[in-house]
Structures are given as structure tokens and as C-alpha cells.
Structure 1
């Protein structure tokens, strides 16, 4: 019986072995030897940060073509190159990336309601979006911390995630875990290409800045003494910070929440402080550029828009060449802004820092004469940027304005900047109320003339910066308000001797919101003048777009002689041709030209590298209404800093030395401390300040 049972079991086992033997021959799966080689090349961390189950899973995914050779987030570029070699591939070097958190919320955001039991950000977000009043702010429950496999994130004392850049591997787990989009993983190019989104943490000042500079960040860096960091933060959006520190009219400060406590933060004077610190060092901080793409780009016009466009194109890896008709770059910043506001040596230093990135410049080269759109394309330029500015002065529409002794405002300032020393004589009349008029008037004062500035409205309606108006008054410029030119009277030699004008009165508001000036009949009077300078507007000279000044313009233009372009992409009617600056907007701010130059560079980059230019639906275009509240509580009042004056009294009137100086380090740190570090709705409160809210405290 026992023998029979044993034989039976032996037979069954022998049959099973035979079956398995046959099956092994039929079902044998041979492992690709590359999997083992790749796994041996990987660091063996088995962290799962790549999204696959350990290094063996990553190796199998690479061989299967489901993951690139650079999938491992722990290893370096050398390892990726070895893996690529095993696969017979070429690994393309990728920009370093890092997880970043640019968000408020946390403990600074008030609770809209309270609940218990939701201890995860994702769960809390499902309950009416979370308890915080800020719709985009951090909920502070630490889902990102638990998701990070490298212990690179911890929650800081403000209830916000703090990222350790030395430990972060940019795996993106924290991004996936956050339901609010508080954390992003990005590299240099992604930051340069990013447009403000309504889902970003945008303080009101940052929303208003035409260049989209991260103002709260660079002020926080100044407060911490990280001045180089502040410079680099600004340079992610603005390569002309020395220039803007002197001439920007600070639209950002008009939306500063601090004004509802005492006075706005001196945002621009802080920018000037760090810009001047770099300037005085004599050395430009190193600016990183992406790997060369080999793509040639033509930038026509070397003013703020063109310089900005070329700078950002170069940083994105392209090869821009700037063409400019003048003997030096800078556009209106060089030829329209006098030395006492912007020393040309400082401008030269700043522009040289841009060119040193690897940007070519061809000067004394006129568009429409020395080259055209067609010749640029024939020379291999893949995209073209038109930033030719607005150099043509608008007339006074007054009889006799073509007489000798009448010279347009921008023409006068340009001639003076070129060292041509235009004759002013003893009595100068400047007609206009903008910054060009003020600049011309203050320049003539320094040339020894008695100057009267004539404006058809009142002082309150003048579009010039108030500081410039006050500066002109301090230097002796006389103002003739509610007066408009009627005709220029000349002598027998055709030389202007007097300006006849009408007295005006203000009527109903016009499209600009200012009251329209109306002529008083029978109020004609005359004023003696050795030079009359109309400075009542500028417009682009588009003659360069026509063949020999005739024919049909290849681009769509407006009745204001500006070029039409898509407001989101800045592309003109000709594919591959983009524009920005004064030739697109008409005369505008330097900071606006810089900001639009970057946006045009962004579009040109996508045009050359992708099939379309992405413009997300959440792109911020106007102020975000719910962020513009005026009730600011629990904040101590602190006095705003004042820029020092370098020249005083008669010294200002007889030299072109720079008038304003820069803050000291102590003053800058104190002014930075006034910043409330605003987010969408959050701001820093002072623990010892009264808890009652302040509404319109400065009115």
C-alpha cells in the first residue's frame, strides 16, 4: 500500500515536472539586459520620487520608452548621460529646477469659519475651499510636507511651507499634493516666461507694476540684507533697474496698502538703492542664460523696449542683434531724459551689462534705409521685433510754427544730448504740461535762459510727475496756466520773436477725464520769446515702413501712427514680426516699455520653439477687485524715507549734475521694514499695534 502510494505521488511529480519543463520552454520571458545595466547605474535610493516603484521600476520604464534617461531626480547629469549611453540616446542638458513657494496665507490669513477633523489640505479644500479667507492662500495643514520623500519641506512659524533648496530634488510630489497651487517647480526659463496669473500671490503693488516685478520679494530681501538677491529678483523682470530707479513715476506705489495707514512704501527708492549698490561696485552680478538655441533674432530699436526684448531673448538662449539709427543705445532714456535726472555714464554701464550677455549691436543703421523686413529675413533672422519709438513731435497747430526759433521738445532734448548746443537766447517759452515739457524747461534754465512754461489747463491737470513740476518751480521756471498758443510772430528774417496766445477756461471733462480747455474770445496776448519749444506730444515716424516713403505699409497702423498688434502676444499682422514700446502704445512710461518688451520676447520664444503662444485664461490683465480694500488694522505708523538731494540752490540751475541721490543702507533697511509684505488679502500686522482698523487714515 505504501509502495503504491509512493509510486503514485512520484508519477504525479514527474508529470508536473514534465509539464513545467515544456511550459518553461514555451513561456520563457527573457529580461532585457539593459534593465540591469541601467539599474546598476542609478543611485539605488529607491525613493519613488521619479514616480516608479524603486530604481528597478525606473530602469524598466526607461527601457520600455515610458521614461527619459534623466528620470531619476536624485542622480546628477553624469548619471543621466551614462543611462542615455546604454540606451543609445543623447541626453539633453536640462535647466536646474527647484520647488518654490510664492504665497501668503497660513497664520496671516483670517479664518472664514472653523471646523474639526480635516487635518489634510486636500480634505480641507473639499470643504468649501478651506477655512481661510484668502482664496489662493496656503491652508497650512502640511500635505506638502508629508508628500516630500526627501524631507526638503517643513512648516515655518507663519504656517507656511519652507523649502530647503539643498535637499529639494524638484520631484513635484509637493505640487501634486497641494490643492491650491501654492508650490510650483520651475527653472530659470520658466520664471522668465511666466505672466502674472490671478491665481498667483499678487500684492496690489505687484499687480500694478507694468513690468510685473515681484516687489514684496525684493523688499523682503533688502530687509534681510540680501542686496544681491534683491538685484537678481528685479532682473527677472527688469534689466534697467538703475534707469528706472531714477525716472520711474512709480505706478506701483499708487496701489500700496501702506497708504491707508500713513504713506506709501518708497518702492522705487528701494529699487534704486540696490541698483546703485551694484553700480558703485563696478561689477555686474552674473546673469544666467539658457543654452544657446542657435536662433537669430533681429531687434529694431535700442530703446527700453528693444533692450528689454533683447535681454530676455538672450537669457532664453537665443541670439539677438539690436539695430539702432542713433550713435548710442538707450532711445528716449538717452536722448529724451536730461543728464541731471539720468547720468549717461550710469546708463552706459547698465546697457553694457546687457550687451555683455552676448548681444550684438549695430549703430547708426536706419530701418527702411540700410535694411528692411525683407533683408532681415533674407539674412536668417527667424523673428523680428520693432521697437522704433515715437520720435516725431506733434505740432502746436498754430500759424507760423515753421519759423526759425521754433523747435520741438524731443528734437531740442535730442540735439542737446548729442552735444549740438541749440541756441536758446534769453527768453524761452515751452508749450506743454508733460515730462518732456518739464525736461526741456529745466534744461533751458541750466543753459541760462529765463523760461516760461505755458499750459492750457491748470497745475492740477498737468500729466508730468509732481516731483518734476516741483523741481521746475524750485529752479525758477515760470508757469503760465490756462493759456494756449494761437500763432508765432516772426521778424523780417523769418525768426520767431513772440508767441501770441489765448487765455483759456475749463469746461466739461473730455475723454481723459480732465476738464476741456475752452478759448476765451478776445483774450489774445503776446509773449516775447527767443526760442519756442512745443512739447505737447510725440508720435512714431512710420515713414521707415514704406518703400521710398511711398506705397502701401506692410503693417496695420492706427490714426495715431502706431503699429497694430495682438494685445496678448504683441505679434503684428505679419507672422514672426512683433512690436512693443512707444511705437505700439504711443508715448508711455519707460517701465511699460520694459514690461511689454519682455512679453514680446516671450511670444517670440514660443513662436520659434512651439506652434502657438500660450496665454492662460487666468492671466492677470487688470487689478483684482477683492484685493483693493482700504481698511488696514493693527499696523504702527512709520515715517517714509526721503531721497537726499545732491545739488542745491544755484548749483542746480547752472550744472547738469544729478539732482537726487540714493538712500543710505540704514535708511533703506528702515524703509523696507515699512512694507506690509502683502499677498492677495494678507499683510503683516504689528503685534503691539491697536487692533482697530484704520480707514483712509491719510485723508
Structure 2
């Protein structure tokens, strides 16, 4: 950890803060640094939280090298301000003692389906405005992709427990192990008096390779492995298909759970993951192979087709993990009339988050596909405003 005060003193307080412009949620970085230096950590924390309710999370998992820190003017000739460390220090220190102001209850019910970054953000915002908010989460713990898609070494689960406690403190009700589209459907929520419903169900359906052998017992999907890596017994030699951010998380997790050789394969000569995530995976001991297209899975491993010389090669592997993106499940659209989706299953919305059915809103991965946490938060803030405007007229 850097010396926080020494780091804030390096800030040039630019009149045109490129760091702020580089942030997807437009975090007022110079203002926060100024508040920390001249007023108090609580004042800085209040501004941080108001702008980004998931500031603790974003301080750990954002792609800072391409966003705030990557756009710092000091980056041209020197080391950029390490705002991720500053943000983490402020938000982590302030969060538990923070008192969230709540407006008097307006007796209007809101249902939030999914407790990922978008769902948590909207719940926090609408609860402050006096709405009676209930979160419906299909899994046994709150957090969505934050809990089940990001490894513990990148995002400690204790942070999500703190959010759970904070949500309860401000009156948000949380129902776990409830899938909307199963026993309960969206029509049931409207029947019971919920005036608007937010769908933030994410993308939990793994995309397949559609090649022979994909059903074998030593083949797994990244999204399933990351949800509960301790449940898998991969062996010592692991092959990962894909080189996105999730694939890097899989590689680093597998190495931490006993794998001795982990190799990631890409069809092309490019890495789709963020540079820093690739560098960390490489530092942890992962290997990388390029221009290798999977053609068939065998009991002993996998056959690749080299895209540069048309040769085939069999690679031995104890386990194979497929990490080639994912899409949304169809429980909501298949059980809800008037709720439209695209050909790949993503919910269709306008720029304000309105779906094709009045009163139902959506944002996050279920609308745009797998994106970053900070992008989901930014979208959720806009949708929360739309939901408030919609319900104010009812």
C-alpha cells in the first residue's frame, strides 16, 4: 500500500481533469483528493459514495490502467496518481460508519431481480428516496457476479457482507434462493403491488464451443468454475480455452487451487483481456498459446488446429475449462408476456432502461452483455432515475 497522503500531494489539481474524464462514472477525483487533504476522510467518502455506491468494489476491480490512472497527465512522463489506492482507503474507512439519509416512506414497492452491481446500486438509490425495496436473488448469498464471478483474491467476499448489512440497515428486504421465472413470476410481483420491477439478472449461461467431446466429465465452463472453485478437482494439468478477463481469473484461481500447469489458448494472436490481468496471470505462472483453434475434445485432452500452418496437435490435459463468454438465461422472457429480447437473449431497452413492457426496467450485463462493474453502476444510476420518474407519476 502506498502512502496515501504522499500520493494525494502529487496531484496537480488539473483545471481539466483527464483522470475524471477517463472514468466511466465520472468520479470527481481532484475534488475527492482536495477534500481528503483539507477537510476530512468522511467528506471525501460522502462524495465518493454519492457518485458511486460501489466505490469500494470499483477501487479493486476497475481497469484503472485504462481509465482514471491511464488518463492522468503525470502518466506522460512519470508515475500516474494511484487513485485506486486512494479510493480504496477512503471508501473502506468510511463505509461502515456511513449513515445513509433516508427520505420518509412513500409506501411504493419496488422489486429488484438480481443482486449484482446494478441491482445493489439501484436498491441503494431507491431506498434513499423512500421506496420499499425488495431484492430477489436466485443464489444463496448476495452479490451476483461480484460474488460468483470474481475471485476472492481480487474482491474479498467480506466486502459483500458489508453491503448486505448496509442494505438491511436502510430497510431493503432481501430474499435469497428465489428465482423469478420459477415458482414466482413477474406477473406475481405486479399482482402483489410492486409498481416497478428492475431486471438485473446478468449473463449466467455459458457459451459452448459446439465441438465433439464437450460433454465429457473433465470439461467445465468458466462461469461455473468461478462460482465455486473449491467444488472442482481439476488435476495438475489444466487447459483453458479463451483469453478474456474471465479466463485470466480462471487461470489464477486454478493455480491457487493446486494446478501445476495452466495453459490458455486463443484462436488468434491477440489477448482480449486487460493488459494488467494478463500480466498478473503470467506472473502467477500461466502459459499462453496463440493461433490454436479447438477442434475435438478427447478423454485424454484436446485437439487443436493451428490456424497458421493447418496442422493438428493433441494436447494432454487433466481438465479443460471453456471461457468463451456467456449470455443470459431465458427464465424472465419465457415466463413474462410482452418482455422482448434480442436474438442472443439480451433484454431490449431504450436509453433510460425501459423494456418493452411498462413498469419493467433493466440494465447491466442482461442488456449489454458482459461488461465492467463500473459500467453497470453507471447505467444503474440512470435507470434508478427513470424508475423514480415513472413511479412518481403513478
TM-score, normalising length from structure 1? 0.52
Q: Which runs of 5+ in 1 are unaligned?
A: 1-107, 110-201, 491-496, 506-519, 612-699
Give, in whole Å, the separation in 2 of the partners of 1:399 and 1:553: 37
Give, in whole Å, the separation in 1 of the partners of 2:242 and 2:297: 15
Matches within 5 A, 1:261-272: 261-272=77-88
CA contact (8 A) 1:565 1:573 kept: yes
Q: CA RMSD in A?
A: 1.9
- Confirm or deny that 1:555 pairs with 2:339: yes
- Confirm or deny that 1:573 pairs with 2:376: no
- Confirm or deny that 1:502 pairs with 2:305: yes
Q: 2:208 is matched with which residue?
A: 395
Deviation for aligned residue 1:225: 5.5
**Structure with max Cα Rg:** 1
CA contact (8 A) 1:237 1:598 kept: no
CA contact (8 A) 1:581 1:592 kept: yes
Matches within 5 A, 1:37-48: none
Q: Which runs of 5+ in 2 are unaligned?
A: 1-13
Q: 2:75 is matched with which residue?
A: 259
Deviation for aligned residue 1:209: 2.6
Deviation for aligned residue 1:203: 3.7
CA contact (8 A) 1:408 1:535 kept: yes
Aligned residue among 350, 361, 376 for 2:189: 376
Give, in whole Å, the separation in 1 of the partners of 2:307 and 2:277: 24
Q: 2:161 is matched with which residue?
A: 348
Aligned residue among 111, 117, 142 for 1:304: 117
Give the 3-state SS of the residue equivalent to 1:242 in structure 2: helix
CA contact (8 A) 2:182 2:331 kept: no
Deviation for aligned residue 1:583: 0.1
Matches within 5 A, 1:226-265: 226-250=40-64, 251-265=67-81
CA contact (8 A) 2:238 2:262 kept: yes
**Cα displacement string for residues 342-374 of structure 1 (whole angstroms, at most 9, x for unaligned residues):** 111222113322332110000000010021111
Q: 1:564 is matched with which residue?
A: 348
Aligned residue among 358, 362, 366 for 1:583: 366
Change (3 A) 1:258 1:553: farther
Give, in whole Å, the separation in 2 of the partners of 1:398 and 1:415: 25
Q: 2:280 is matched with which residue?
A: 471
Give, in whole Å, the separation in 1 of the partners of 2:228 and 2:218: 14
Give, in whole Å, the separation in 1 of the partners of 2:39 and 2:225: 43
Change (3 A) 1:350 1:414: same
**Cα displacement string for residues 542-594 of structure 1 (whole angstroms, at most 9, x for unaligned residues):** 233214xxxx8632211222101011x11111111100010011000011111
Q: 1:385 is matched with which residue?
A: 198
CA contact (8 A) 1:310 1:322 kept: yes
Deviation for aligned residue 1:216: 2.4
**Cα displacement string for residues 381-419 of structure 1 (whole angstroms, at most 9, x for unaligned residues):** 001000000011111232221211111001111132xx5
Query: How many equivalent residue pairs?
Result: 378
**Cα displacement string for residues 510-559 of structure 1 (whole angstroms, at most 9, x for unaligned residues):** xxxxxxxxxx42x1101111110001101111233214xxxx86322112
CA contact (8 A) 1:213 1:236 kept: no
Deviation for aligned residue 1:266: 1.9
Q: 1:363 is matched with which residue?
A: 176
- Confirm or deny that 1:452 pairs with 2:263: yes
CA contact (8 A) 1:248 1:589 kept: yes
Give, in whole Å, the separation in 1 of the partners of 2:240 and 2:266: 9
Q: 2:323 is matched with which residue?
A: 535
Change (3 A) 1:391 1:486: same
Give, in whole Å, the separation in 2 of the partners of 1:295 and 1:211: 28
Give, in whole Å, the separation in 2 of the partners of 1:350 and 1:475: 30
Give the 3-state SS of the residue equivalent to 1:407 in structure 2: strand
Q: 2:105 is matched with which residue?
A: 292
CA contact (8 A) 2:349 2:362 kept: yes
Matches within 5 A, 1:186-197: none
